Amino acid sequence: MVKVRIAPSPTGFLHVGTARTALYNFLFARNGGGKFILRIEDTDIERSSDEMVNVIIESLKWMGLHWDEGPYFQSERRDIYVEYADKLLQAGLVYPCYCTKEEIEERKRVTEKKKKKKGWKYDRRCLHLTREEKKQFERERASALRFRVERASSFEDFLHGKIERSKEDIEDFVIIKSDGMATYNFACVLDDHLMGITHVIRGEDHIPNTHKQILLYEAFGWMPPEFVHLPLILGPDRSKLSKRHGAVSVLEYRDRGFLPEAFVNFLALLGWSPGGDREIMSLDEIIGLFSLERVGKRGAVFDTKKLEWMNGEYIKKMSDGELLRRLSPFIENKPGIEEKGDEYILRVIALLKERMTLLSQFWELGSYFFIPPEQYDIESFTKYVKKGRAETRKERIEKVINAFKELKKFDRDMAENCVRGVAEGMGIKAALIIHPIRFALTGKTGGPGLFEIMEILGRDECIKRLEYFVENILPQLNIKN
């Protein structure tokens, strides 16, 4: 049975690279009827935190990546690591190392300065200690355990083929730290083997680790899993994706108003192709189409604009009722929301959804449906007037107000007929008063159809805002038609 895992470290948020790795593992497992395991690699005790564990779990759940086993915590498996480390020690494959971090850094600095090049590796100082020196160190400090590298390493990668590394390029690496906790490479090998992992799918930045892990598999006489090292996600400048490219944690994308379906759809296409020109796909469709054979060898560029476009497509296709549910975190406690009620909000959603690319834009685009404009984009409106596209004569807008007061019925058709009738009676183009009416009602110069806006706001609210505009905003414009 296919068995894969995602093994994040709880030293920080779950970011895009790890999220895509988790997704590909999940898709591969589901496509093959296998299992997807969550393992928390918290061997870095000082930097790991329960808060980050919760963030990782919340991020994976938001993406819909539900695991079959776990979460397992490496911090709870210390005895297992010590047991297997002792087997290597008894076999003479590892040795105690008493060097402190500071001592190693100093020797590295001095050596690199003399040779005028980087690439220092551990100098095996503790391998050659005498028995007396070892006894002296044992009394003074705790020891780590280092694996003794005596051979080259090679493995067959699913995407990249055979990858080799000479023993000269691999230092004797630590498997158990001086605090008694296993290092990443040692714990990873033991856990992958003992948990029956068949495929290790991870970023290509792990290739140097894989060489060390292969040596450990060989030392124990175990068959390694199949390795698949995914190309890194790139920024627009084709360098490794980072915060300077706008990359943020998974939950930040959620909080910015991205839908999990769109986010997962977008991530799936960062390095994998379903064939043809297909882009918008459900998770079930992606699972059915997914295969490692269609994963590319080159890094894919993370295009935020495309992600926003895709998110907008999902918003457009979503039912108004479901969209209202998704919008809940973004509009709760906003003024006027509770008073208006769901039926009113659904009408606004139907009008705005075509313009939204993020859930968070709903209030930005349509707050005026719930409260009068708090600010008026006077600069943009002034440009309309100066270009002869808007009218600011008080008496002309007042005629519209008076005409509205005479209406018995008020819907989009009646509102439009009324405004156009007033314009015709004054001998001007309707657009000249449509623009200032929109500005008066919304504070903006663009948006959905004016008469659809009017119908939702209702006659009384339209009159109220137009009267406020005439008395308070027009005098500020200081523009003469």
Provide the Cα torsion 58, 295, 25, 224; round to 10°: -140
Using one digit for the tens of pLDDT, what is the confidence trace for 252-293?
999 999 999 999 999 999 999 998 889 999 999 999 999 999
Average pLDDT over every residue of 29-36: 98
Q: Check residue 241 and give its pLDDT.
A: 83
Longest pairwise C-alpha distance within the chain = 109
Residue 45 is predicted with a pLDDT of: 86
Structure tokens given for 244: 């300077």
With tokens 């928390």, the residue in question is 40
Bond preceding residue 10 cis, omega within 30 of 0: no
Report how far residue 209's alpha carbon sits from residue 202's, in angstroms, rounded to the nearest whole number. 11
Answer yes or no: is 126 a known binding residue: yes
Tell me the pTM.
Answer: 0.92
Six token digits for residue 99: 């060097």
Pairing mode, strands 35-40 and 153-157: unpaired
pLDDT of residue 245: 66
Residue 276, Cβ neighbours under 10 Å: how many? 7
15 labelled binding-site residue: no
Reference 257, options 327, 355, 320; nearest CA is 327
3-state secondary structure of 127: helix
Q: What is the distance between the alpha carbons of residues 148 and 145, in angstroms, rounded to a whole number?
A: 9
Q: Whole-number mean pLDDT of the chain?
A: 94
Mean pLDDT of 373-391: 85
Q: Hey, which residues are catalytic here?
A: 243
Report pLDDT for 480: 56
Of 33, 47, 31, 43, give the one whose Cα is nearest residue 189: 43
In this prediction, residues 362-386 reach a mean pLDDT of: 92
Q: What percent of the chain has pLDDT over 70?
A: 98
CATH H-level superfamily of 1-71+231-317: HUPs (3.40.50.620)
> How many Cα neighbours within 13 Å face the side chain of 479?
21
Domain 378-477: CATH architecture, name and number where available: Orthogonal Bundle (1.10)
Q: Is 77 helix (H, G, I), strand (E, B) or coil?
A: coil
| 235 touches 299 (CB < 8 A) | no
pLDDT tens for 61-77 read 999 999 999 999 999 99
Cis peptide before 71 (omega within 30 of 0): yes
Query: In angstroms, how far is CA 83 from the centroid of its own chain?
Result: 39
- Backbone angles phi and psi of 331, in degrees to 5: -120, -10
For residues 43 and 189, what is the distance between their CA atoms, to the nearest angstrom? 13
- State the number of CA atoms in the 13 A half-sphere of 23 facing the CB: 31
- Mean pLDDT computed over 44-58: 94
Q: Give the separation between CA 270 and CA 299, rounded to whole angstroms.
A: 8
* Residue 113 labelled as part of a binding site: no
Mean pLDDT across 343-372: 97
User: 13-30: per-residue pLDDT in tens?
Assistant: 999 999 999 999 999 999
Rounded Cα gap, residues 57 and 160, in angstroms: 31
Closest CA to 200 of 168, 169, 220, 224: 224
Query: Is the distance from CB of 463 to CB of 400 less than 8 angstroms?
Result: no
pLDDT at 306 over 90: yes
| Mean pLDDT (whole number) for 404-430 | 94
The H-or-E segment that residue 372 falls in is none
Which strands make up the sheet holding 144-147, listed edge to edge? Answer: 94-97, 144-147, 174-176
Question: What was the pLDDT predicted at 474?
Answer: 87
Nearest-CA neighbor of 172 among 200, 141, 151?
151
- pLDDT confidence of residue 229: 98
DSSP state of 182: B
Measure the CA–CA gap between 375 and 364, rounded to whole angstroms.
Answer: 12
> Looking at this protein, which amino acid is placed at residue 236?
P
pLDDT in tens, 219-253: 999 999 999 999 999 988 888 887 676 667 999 99
The pLDDT, as a whole number, for residue 248 is: 78
- In the structure, what pLDDT confidence band is assigned to residue 478 with cuts at 50, 70 and 90? low
pLDDT for 247 equals 66
H or E segment at 174?
A: strand 174-176
The answer to whether residue 363 scores a pLDDT higher than 70 is: yes
- Specify the pLDDT at position 283: 97
If you average pLDDT over residues 154-181, what whole number do you get?
Answer: 96
